Chain A
Amino acid sequence: AQTVTQSQPEMSVQEAETVTLSCTYDTSESDYYLFWYKQPPSRQMILVIRQEAYKQQNATENRFSVNFQKAAKSFSLKISDSQLGDAAMYFCAYRSAMGSSNTGKLIFGQGTTLQVKP
């Protein structure tokens, strides 16, 4: 079974600085998708960024980018120019792309709470 691990329960960053959130996963599959979701205090789940495992190029979305290391099974999220609105809980998630396993379900890590200091 696949697992996702986020080893940093809490992180803090100064406004306008850069922060990196770590995520590792365990899988024997070669084809899958990885996601970062944000959960602000409203508790609404918001997709931040996603990565297809077959793509070597790291995904970017404005101030958000990932460092995807397939061999190391690592998928970290970098937030540049941090803003107060970035304060939230961030979840890393895995989805299998294999035929019979393609139920679309996401497997989530335990989350990292990010504090942004003004």
Chain B
Amino acid sequence: SQTIHQWPATLVQPVGSPLSLECTVEGTSNPNLYWYRQAAGRGLQLLFYSVGIGQISSEVPQNLSASRPQDRQFILSSKKLLLSDSGFYLCAWGSGTGHEKLFFGSGTQLSVL
């Protein structure tokens, strides 16, 4: 069966420090991968998605970047965190077809202080 791993669960970082969040998927090949951010008590904003290795699409201009070095690995990064980068980050994967749902990771709560 397919599983998605996301880590760490919680992260507290100072302003200006780098960031690396990792997400891996098991039990499927060539998944579509997504990074979402959820501000406190708000909806999910799509940050990046990838339909294949090395293919990254950015949805919003921001301080973050994403990479997909392997088929089932998706990394969210920043060179220098801002206060506004705080939030709950969710990785998800899907088959990219029709009515199929997205499978979400357990999320990372990032606090930038």
**B98 pairs with A97, CB closer than 8 A:** yes
The contact of B43 among A35, A43, A103, A110, by CB within 8 Å, is A110
Q: Is B111 an interface residue (CB 8 A)?
A: no
What residues on B are CB-neighbors of A35 within 8 Å? 101
* B44 interfacial contact with A, CB 8 Å: yes
Within 8 A of A (CB), among B43-79: 43-46, 49, 51, 57, 59
Q: Closest chain A residue to B45 by CB distance?
A: A108
Which residues of chain A are within 8 angstroms of B102 by Cβ–Cβ distance?
45, 104, 106
Q: Smallest distance from the beta carbon of B93 to chain A beta carbons, Å? A: 9
Majority SS at the chain A contact face: loop
As a 0/1 sequence over residues 16 to 40 of chain A, the CB contacts with chain B under 8 angstroms (1 = contact) are: 0000000000000000010100000
CB of A112, distance to nearest CB on chain B (Å): 10
Q: In the complex, what's the smallest C-beta–C-beta distance from B26 to chain A, in angstroms? A: 18
23 contacts between A and B (CB under 8 A): A35-B101, A43-B106, A43-B107, A44-B104, A44-B107, A45-B102, A47-B101, A52-B98, A52-B99, A91-B44, A103-B32, A104-B51, A104-B96, A104-B100, A105-B49, A105-B59, A106-B102, A107-B46, A108-B44, A108-B46, A109-B43, A110-B43, A111-B41
B contact residues vs A (CB 8 Å cutoff)? 32, 34, 36, 41-46, 49, 51, 57, 59, 88, 90, 92, 94-102, 104, 106-107
Task: Name A residues whose Cβ lies closer than 8 Å to a Cβ of B.
Answer: 6, 33, 35, 43-45, 47, 50, 52, 91, 95, 97, 102-111, 113
